[in-house]
Amino acid sequence: MTRAHECADASSVIDLFCGLGTFALALPAKVHAVEGARDAILALAATRRVTVEHRDLFRRPLARDELARSDAVVLDPPRAGAREQIAQLVGSSVARIAYVSCNPATFARDAAVLVRGGYRLDWVQPVGQFRWSTHVELVGAFVINEIPQ
6 is a domain residue? no
Model confidence, pTM? 0.88
Confidence band of 1 (pLDDT split at 50, 70, 90):
very low
Domain encompassing residue 45: 12-144
149 is a domain residue? no
**76-102 tens-digit pLDDT:** 999 999 999 999 999 999 999 999 999
**47-71 tens-digit pLDDT:** 988 999 999 999 999 999 999 999 9
Q: Which of 25, 95, 102, 115 is catalytic?
A: 102
Q: Please spell the DSSP secondary structure of 102-123, one letter per residue.
A: S-HHHHHHHHHHHHHTTEEEEE
Query: Is 102 a catalytic site residue?
Result: yes
Q: By the 8 A CB rule, do 72 and 144 touch?
A: no
Strand locations in the chain (E): 12-16, 30-35, 51-54, 72-75, 96-101, 119-127, 137-144
- Per-residue pLDDT at 2 exceeds 90: no
65 is a domain residue? yes
For residue 144, the surrounding DSSP H or E stretch is strand 137-144
1 is a domain residue? no
Question: Where is average pLDDT lowest: 12-16, 46-50, 140-144?
Answer: 46-50
Find the CATH number of the domain harbouring 90.
Answer: 3.40.50.150
